[in-house]
Chain A
């Protein structure tokens, strides 16, 4: 135990007293993230401006006329909108018979929103019935989403106008707003954050562990400094564990630095996801953070073990770099593949596949969709894989073929 600690202290000292290494591990990654996503945020802002410039095409079916209930008057919907349009709108009324036609147009992105009131709205309103109002929009179209969001709050304001005309004033709830999104629902599930964060986290973890992992073992082999350690009474297994732990510590710190860079840029970043993105970041519960942390920690150990194997096997830094590339590509591949498959997986088999399970699980957490069982499967399987890898590493450290294969 004491020997392991001695090794860890030395490894940490090496990293934290080298300005170049500190820069490349803890400064450069967050800085690049800040710059890249800052730029993305800027372009999102420009996109927002474009949305504001746009004139939405809205159709209203069974648009309510003026309601006059013994002197309590509520304006007709069209009249109400004259002064209360939330966004630039090309406003039209339509008959219930045209609904199917309009839905097709909505799907083809020719129009942006249909507001469907029930027929005989006026009498029903006075008679205290709760009125189903349906908002039909296309979730795959930004303009359409924007129109839906704005008009649903306008409708809530309009609701208070109508409530005043009611016989029973306690029944303030006039509308039962329902939405009917048109388009590919899967495509819109999960916020942009949920899509990108798992990818970034996994890549940072890997990248953080890679450089230092190669340096710390293949580098020592190349420079002949590891042999000096091998003639001391330290057990090979202690040396291996000491190396693994110190690399893991540095990798975690480095990915935290990257993560902070991401947080710094998040306010701008949220603009990409629109209001929804902002809502989701705000409402992650403690348990979600716990889940993310658990996955991060086990993952970093697993990655470190993978990297240490490659680094131990290689004769030189250059060889380790070459050998590690396919591994890096597999990790990136798993992350990207997952980013573009939209639905959150529930099948437990996905939570057993090494590397892939981590990406799937992270994605599920960010979409509030990870069950405790699947979380435990992810952690458990990753820990088991890591333990197996560590056994292999200890075996390699004991093999003279591996340690003296110059």
Chain B
């Protein structure tokens, strides 16, 4: 169970950032009262264009940054990710292509290393390793240094290692970013498998087809605000469209009108 309540994140921009972003505002509201729920056995998709606030929201959920307002509760015990972050990290996993593995080590070593940091005993580590390495075909390159792996191999190793502690909640920023169709397919298939095991999963993406295909429910985020939440079917019927891309454009246009901006 994952409950996101009114998450607001404001970045204070330095002079240099203001120049780069071409703005006079010294503050950037990257997430604006973002709320949604995800149930166990469900994949929730955060769909939005570049700069919409997807990564920011997911980082708040996974304790990497602290929101200025709002709360995130996880699990049956409703642990607050904000107040009890060390504990929360034990039952969630954050995956993204930005999280890199150290070049100098092998996937095998890193799997054990992260397992230790999660406080797992050797037996559990070995059991989870066997399962995950087999799933992603990592055994072939388990003893090769990360620096010598291809992008896809690195991504596979990174996913396996992030799941070392068999977390209940999985947060995945842009799961297919930079992967070829085959590897991307392995990843999305595995996410579906995890969903069927009863995991709570949140992914972000700007790819309509991926959201439509993979996600049980979708939240459309534009300029830091959630504009619509629902299953694909619900979104299509509410926007009176028959394809997610059309629905997205309708919602996007309406959002810009509401915010008083120009497209």
Binding site for B on A (CB under 8 A): 2-3, 6, 10, 13-14, 17-18, 220, 223-225, 227-235, 400, 404
Does B90 have its Cβ within 8 Å of any Cβ on chain A?
Answer: yes
B78-115 interface mask toward A, CB cutoff 8 Å, 1 = contact, 0 = none? 00000000110110011000111111110001000110
In the bound complex, do residue B98 and residue A227 qualify as a contact, i.e. CB atoms below 8 Å apart?
yes
Give Cα A235–Cα B117 distance, bound, in whole angstroms: 10
Does B137 have its Cβ within 8 Å of any Cβ on chain A?
Answer: no
Q: Which chain A residues border B93 with CB–CB below 8 Å?
A: 231
Give Cα A231–Cα B164 distance, bound, in whole angstroms: 12
In the bound complex, do residue A228 and residue B101 qualify as a contact, i.e. CB atoms below 8 Å apart?
yes
- A-B interface contact total, Cβ < 8 Å: 67
In the bound complex, do residue B100 and residue A224 qualify as a contact, i.e. CB atoms below 8 Å apart?
yes
The contact of B117 among A6, A13, A17, by CB within 8 Å, is A6
Counting from the closest, the 9 A-B pairs by CB-CB distance are A224-B100, A232-B117, A233-B89, A400-B65, A228-B99, A233-B90, A231-B94, A6-B116, A225-B102
Q: Which chain A residues border B109 with CB–CB below 8 Å?
A: 13
Give Cα A3–Cα B99 distance, bound, in whole angstroms: 20
Binding site for A on B (CB under 8 A): 59, 62-66, 86-87, 89-90, 93-94, 98-105, 109, 113-114, 116-119, 158, 161-162
Q: Which chain B residues border A230 with CB–CB below 8 Å?
A: 64
At the interface, is chain B mostly helix, strand, loop or mixed? loop
Q: Nearest Cβ distance between residue A230 and chain B, in whole angstroms?
A: 6
The contact of B86 among A10, A14, A227, A235, by CB within 8 Å, is A235
Q: Which chain B residues border A13 with CB–CB below 8 Å?
A: 105, 109
Q: Which chain B residues border A233 with CB–CB below 8 Å?
A: 86-87, 89-90, 117-119
In the bound complex, do residue A404 and residue B64 qualify as a contact, i.e. CB atoms below 8 Å apart?
yes
Q: Which residue of A lies closest to B12 (CB)?
A: A401
> Contacts A6-B116, A10-B113 known; A228 to B100 CB distance under 8 Å?
yes
Give Cα A117–Cα B187 distance, bound, in whole angstroms: 99
Give Cα A404–Cα B101 distance, bound, in whole angstroms: 17
Q: Which chain A residues border B105 with CB–CB below 8 Å?
A: 10, 13-14
Q: Nearest Cβ distance between residue A218 and chain B, in whole angstroms?
A: 14
In the bound complex, do residue A231 and residue B63 qualify as a contact, i.e. CB atoms below 8 Å apart?
yes
The contact of B104 among A3, A18, A224, A228, by CB within 8 Å, is A18
Q: Which chain B residues border A400 with CB–CB below 8 Å?
A: 64-66
In this complex, the member of B94, B98, B117, B162 whose beta carbon has the largest number of chain A beta carbons within 10 angstroms is: B117
Q: Nearest Cβ distance between residue A388 and chain B, in whole angstroms?
A: 24
Q: Nearest Cβ distance between residue A13 and chain B, in whole angstroms?
A: 8
Q: Nearest Cβ distance between residue B152 and chain A, in whole angstroms?
A: 17
Q: Nearest Cβ distance between residue B116 and chain A, in whole angstroms?
A: 5
Give Cα A14–Cα B86 distance, bound, in whole angstroms: 26
Q: Which chain A residues border B101 with CB–CB below 8 Å?
A: 225, 228
Q: Which chain B residues border A14 with CB–CB below 8 Å?
A: 102, 104-105
Q: Which chain B residues border A10 with CB–CB below 8 Å?
A: 105, 113
Give Cα A163–Cα B47 distance, bound, in whole angstroms: 107
> Contacts A14-B102, A224-B100, A225-B102 known; A232 to B114 CB distance under 8 Å?
yes
In the bound complex, do residue B63 and residue A225 qualify as a contact, i.e. CB atoms below 8 Å apart?
no
Q: Nearest Cβ distance between residue A87 and chain B, in whole angstroms?
A: 61
The contact of A224 among B98, B113, B118, by CB within 8 Å, is B98
In the bound complex, do residue B99 and residue A231 qualify as a contact, i.e. CB atoms below 8 Å apart?
yes
Q: Which residue of B lies closest to A403 (CB)?
A: B64
Q: Which chain B residues border A404 with CB–CB below 8 Å?
A: 59, 64-65
Give Cα A227–Cα B103 distance, bound, in whole angstroms: 14
Q: Taking A6-B117, A228-B158 as given, write out 9 further A-B residue pairs in contact, using a Cβ cutoff of 8 Å, ordered by the A residue number.
A: A225-B102, A227-B64, A228-B99, A228-B100, A231-B64, A233-B90, A233-B117, A400-B65, A404-B59
| Listed A/B pairs (29) with beta-carbon separation below 8 Å | A3-B117, A6-B117, A10-B113, A13-B109, A14-B102, A14-B104, A18-B104, A223-B100, A223-B102, A223-B103, A224-B98, A224-B99, A225-B100, A225-B101, A225-B102, A227-B64, A228-B99, A228-B100, A228-B114, A228-B158, A228-B162, A231-B63, A232-B118, A233-B86, A233-B87, A233-B89, A233-B119, A400-B65, A404-B64
Give Cα A18–Cα B145 distance, bound, in whole angstroms: 12
In the bound complex, do residue A220 and residue B102 qualify as a contact, i.e. CB atoms below 8 Å apart?
yes
Give Cα A229–Cα B116 distance, bound, in whole angstroms: 12
Q: Nearest Cβ distance between residue B248 and chain A, in whole angstroms?
A: 29
> Contacts A3-B117, A233-B86 known; A17 to B104 CB distance under 8 Å?
yes
Q: Which chain B residues border A18 with CB–CB below 8 Å?
A: 104
Q: Nearest Cβ distance between residue B25 and chain A, in whole angstroms?
A: 18
Give Cα A235–Cα B66 distance, bound, in whole angstroms: 15
In this complex, the member of B64, B66, B90, B109 whose beta carbon has the largest number of chain A beta carbons within 10 angstroms is: B64
Give Cα A234–Cα B158 distance, bound, in whole angstroms: 18
Give Cα A231–Cα B86 distance, bound, in whole angstroms: 9
Q: Which residue of A lies closest to B97 (CB)?
A: A224
Q: Nearest Cβ distance between residue B161 and chain A, in whole angstroms?
A: 8
In the bound complex, do residue B89 and residue A232 qualify as a contact, i.e. CB atoms below 8 Å apart?
yes
Give Cα A228–Cα B89 distance, bound, in whole angstroms: 12
Q: Which chain B residues border A2 with CB–CB below 8 Å?
A: 116, 119
Q: Which chain A residues border B62 with CB–CB below 8 Å?
A: 231
Q: Which chain B residues border A229 with CB–CB below 8 Å?
A: 117
Q: Nearest Cβ distance between residue B262 and chain A, in whole angstroms?
A: 30
Q: Which residue of B lies closest to A6 (CB)?
A: B116
In this complex, the member of A2, A231, A404 whose beta carbon has the largest number of chain B beta carbons within 10 angstroms is: A231
Give Cα A14–Cα B89 distance, bound, in whole angstroms: 26
Q: Which residue of A lies closest to B88 (CB)?
A: A233
Q: Which chain B residues border A6 with CB–CB below 8 Å?
A: 113, 116-117
Q: Nearest Cβ distance between residue A268 and chain B, in whole angstroms?
A: 39
Q: Which residue of B lies closest to A231 (CB)?
A: B94
Give Cα A404–Cα B162 distance, bound, in whole angstroms: 19
Give Cα A130–Cα B162 distance, bound, in whole angstroms: 88
Give Cα A154–Cα B191 distance, bound, in whole angstroms: 94
Give Cα A224–Cα B62 distance, bound, in whole angstroms: 16
Q: Which residue of B lies closest to A239 (CB)?
A: B117
The contact of B99 among A227, A234, A235, by CB within 8 Å, is A227
